[in-house]
Structure 1
Amino acid sequence: MITTVLRHALRARGKEPAVLCHTGANTRAELTGLPTAPGDLVLDLDARPLGAPVLDDDPVAGLVALVAATTTDLHRALTNAVHLPRAVHLVAALVATPGHQEPPVPVGPGLGQWRDLQELRVRRVGSRGWVCELFFPNAIESAPVLDAVFHGTRGRRRGPAVAPSAALNGVEAALWRPGDTGAHGVSAEGPVPLRRVTPVGDLALRAHGPDAPPDWTDANVPVLDRATTGTDSWEALTGPHGHDRAGRSPLLVTDRPGADPVHHVAPVDETTVNPTGFTKAEKGPLGDLTLRGDSAVVADGRKDLVTVAPDGTVTDVDLSRLRHLRGVRVDWSGHSGPHAAVRAVASLAAGGVPLVSGPVPAWAAGLGAPLTALLGSAAEADLSDRLAREEYSVRLRRAALYTHGQRSRWRALAAEAGVPVPPAPRVSVILCTRRPDMVGFALAQIARQRGVDVETVLTLHGFPASLPRVRAAVDAYRATGLPLVVHEAPADRVFGAVLNDSVALASGDLLAKWDDDDWYGPEHLADLVLARTYSGAELVGTGQDFVFLQEIDLMVWRSRESETATRFIAGGTILTDRVVLEETGGFRPLPRAIDTQLLIAVTRGGGRVHRTHGLGYVLRRTGGGHTWSEDMAYFLHNYARQWSGWRPSSLLEGEPAPLGSGAEDGRPVGTTQHTGGHP
Structure 2
Amino acid sequence: MITPALREALRARGDETAVLCHTGAGARAGLAGLPTRPSDLVLDLDAHPLGAPLDLPGGERPEAGLVAVVAATTTDLRRALTTAVHLPRAAHVLVALVAVPGHQDPPLPASPGMGQWRDLEEVRVRRADRQGWLCELFFPNGVDTAEVLDAVLHGTRGRRRGLAVAPLAALSGPEGALWRPGDTGATGVPATGPVPLRRVTPVADLALRVTARGGRAAWEDAAVPALDRATTGADAWADLAGEDGHARLREARSAAGPDPVSAIAPVDELSVNPVGFTKAEKGPLGDLTAHGDRAVVRAGDKVLVDVAPDGTVTDVDLARLRHLRGVRVAWSGHTGPSAAVRAVASLAAGGVPLLSGPVPAWAAGLGRPLGDLLEGAADADLTDRLRREEHSVRLRRAALRTHGLRTRWRSLAAEAGVPVPPAPRISVILCTRRPEMVGFALAQIARQRGVDLEVVLTLHGFPADLPGVAAAVAEAAATGLRIVVHEADADQVFGSVLNDSAARASGDLLAKWDDDDWYGPDHLADLALARAYSGAELVGTGQDFVYLQEVDVTVWRSRESETATRFIAGGTILTDRVVLEETGGFRPLPRAIDTQLLLAVTRGGGRIHRTHGLGYVLRRTGGGHTWSEDMAYFLHNYARQWAGWRPSSLLEGEPAEFGRSITENTGGQR
TM-score for the superposition, normalised by structure 1: 0.96
Cα distance, 1:483 vs structure 2: 1.1
Aligned to 1:669: none
User: Can you list the C-alpha shifts for 1:126-184, whole angstroms capped at 9, x where unaligned?
Assistant: 22100000001111100011011011111111221110000000010000000000000
Kept after mapping to 2: 8 A contact 1:291/1:333: yes
Q: 2:27 matched to 1:27?
A: yes
Alignment of 1:82-93 (within 5 A): 82-93=85-96
Kept after mapping to 2: 8 A contact 1:55/1:85: no
SS at match of 1:552: coil
Alignment of 1:213-612 (within 5 A): 213-250=216-253, 259-612=258-611
C-alpha distance in structure 1 between counterparts of 2:119 and 2:581, whole Å = 31
Residue identity opposite 1:149 in structure 2: V
Cα distance, 1:240 vs structure 2: 4.3
5+ long unaligned stretches in structure 1:
667-672, 675-679
C-alpha distance in structure 2 between counterparts of 1:391 and 1:56, whole Å = 53
Cα distance, 1:663 vs structure 2: 7.7
Aligned to 2:178: 175
Alignment of 1:642-657 (within 5 A): 642-657=641-656
Cα distance, 1:243 vs structure 2: 2.5
User: Can you list the C-alpha shifts for 1:102-149, whole angstroms capped at 9, x where unaligned?
Assistant: 000011000001111110000001221000000011111000110110
Kept after mapping to 2: 8 A contact 1:562/1:612: yes
C-alpha distance in structure 1 between counterparts of 2:585 and 2:644, whole Å = 38
Cα distance, 1:14 vs structure 2: 1.6
C-alpha distance in structure 2 between counterparts of 1:567 and 1:665, whole Å = 44
Residue identity opposite 2:261 in structure 1: V
Aligned to 2:165: 162
SS at match of 2:290: strand
Kept after mapping to 1: 8 A contact 2:467/2:663: no
Kept after mapping to 1: 8 A contact 2:468/2:663: no
Aligned to 2:146: 143
Cα distance, 1:623 vs structure 2: 0.1
Aligned to 1:2: 2
C-alpha distance in structure 1 between counterparts of 2:664 and 2:20, whole Å = 71
**1:114 pairs with one of 117, 135, 151:** 117
Cα distance, 1:248 vs structure 2: 2.7
Cα distance, 1:317 vs structure 2: 0.2
Cα distance, 1:660 vs structure 2: 1.1
Residue identity opposite 1:48 in structure 2: H
Kept after mapping to 2: 8 A contact 1:338/1:364: yes
Kept after mapping to 1: 8 A contact 2:112/2:151: yes
Cα distance, 1:76 vs structure 2: 0.4
User: Can you list the C-alpha shifts for 1:406-441, whole angstroms capped at 9, x where unaligned?
Assistant: 000000000000000000000000000000000000
**Aligned-CA RMSD value:** 1.4
Aligned to 1:80: 83
User: Can you list the C-alpha shifts for 1:243-284, whole angstroms capped at 9, x where unaligned?
Assistant: 311233439x9xx9x600000000000000000000000000
Kept after mapping to 1: 8 A contact 2:426/2:453: yes
Q: 2:106 matched to 1:103?
A: yes
Residue identity opposite 2:46 in structure 1: D
Residue identity opposite 2:35 in structure 1: P
C-alpha distance in structure 1 between counterparts of 2:13 and 2:554, whole Å = 65
Cα 1:665–1:346 change in 2 (3 A) is farther
Residue identity opposite 1:580 in structure 2: V
Cα distance, 1:521 vs structure 2: 0.2
C-alpha distance in structure 2 between counterparts of 1:488 and 1:595, whole Å = 21
C-alpha distance in structure 2 between counterparts of 1:665 and 1:451, whole Å = 32
SS at match of 1:111: coil
C-alpha distance in structure 1 between counterparts of 2:377 and 2:646, whole Å = 21
C-alpha distance in structure 1 between counterparts of 2:481 and 2:399, whole Å = 28
4+ residue stretches of structure 1 with deviation over 3 A?
663-666
SS at match of 2:617: strand
| Bigger shift: residues 327-336 or 560-569 | 327-336
**2:134 pairs with one of 128, 131, 134:** 131
User: Can you list the C-alpha shifts for 1:512-553, whole angstroms capped at 9, x where unaligned?
Assistant: 000000000000000000000000000000000000000000
Kept after mapping to 1: 8 A contact 2:428/2:511: yes
Kept after mapping to 2: 8 A contact 1:450/1:526: yes
SS at match of 2:600: helix
Aligned to 2:46: 46
Kept after mapping to 2: 8 A contact 1:250/1:260: no
C-alpha distance in structure 1 between counterparts of 2:487 and 2:646, whole Å = 35
Q: 2:203 matched to 1:210?
A: no
User: Can you list the C-alpha shifts for 1:61-113, whole angstroms capped at 9, x where unaligned?
Assistant: 00011000000000000000000000010000000000000000011000001
Residue identity opposite 1:15 in structure 2: D
Cα distance, 1:15 vs structure 2: 1.6
Cα distance, 1:481 vs structure 2: 1.5
C-alpha distance in structure 2 between counterparts of 1:618 and 1:116, whole Å = 54
TM-score for the superposition, normalised by structure 2: 0.98
Residue identity opposite 1:366 in structure 2: G
Kept after mapping to 1: 8 A contact 2:547/2:553: yes
C-alpha distance in structure 1 between counterparts of 2:54 and 2:587, whole Å = 54
C-alpha distance in structure 2 between counterparts of 1:208 and 1:594, whole Å = 55
Residue identity opposite 2:272 in structure 1: V
Paired residues, what number? 664
C-alpha distance in structure 2 between counterparts of 1:226 and 1:57, whole Å = 33
Cα distance, 1:56 vs structure 2: 4.6
User: Can you list the C-alpha shifts for 1:556-609, whole angstroms capped at 9, x where unaligned?
Assistant: 000000000000000000000001011100110000000001101101111000
Q: 2:15 matched to 1:15?
A: yes
C-alpha distance in structure 1 between counterparts of 2:489 and 2:55, whole Å = 68
Aligned to 2:635: 636
Kept after mapping to 1: 8 A contact 2:285/2:327: yes
C-alpha distance in structure 2 between counterparts of 1:382 and 1:89, whole Å = 52
SS at match of 1:298: strand
C-alpha distance in structure 2 between counterparts of 1:275 and 1:55, whole Å = 40
C-alpha distance in structure 2 between counterparts of 1:115 and 1:488, whole Å = 52
Residue identity opposite 1:159 in structure 2: G
Cα distance, 1:57 vs structure 2: 3.8
Kept after mapping to 2: 8 A contact 1:657/1:664: no
C-alpha distance in structure 2 between counterparts of 1:563 and 1:71, whole Å = 18
C-alpha distance in structure 2 between counterparts of 1:199 and 1:50, whole Å = 17
Residue identity opposite 2:625 in structure 1: H
C-alpha distance in structure 1 between counterparts of 2:157 and 2:312, whole Å = 20
Kept after mapping to 2: 8 A contact 1:657/1:663: no
Residue identity opposite 1:40 in structure 2: D
Residue identity opposite 1:487 in structure 2: H
| Bigger shift: residues 32-41 or 176-185 | 32-41
| Bigger shift: residues 232-241 or 413-422 | 232-241
Cα distance, 1:665 vs structure 2: 7.1
Kept after mapping to 1: 8 A contact 2:213/2:252: no
Aligned to 1:677: none
Kept after mapping to 1: 8 A contact 2:213/2:251: no
Kept after mapping to 1: 8 A contact 2:313/2:343: yes
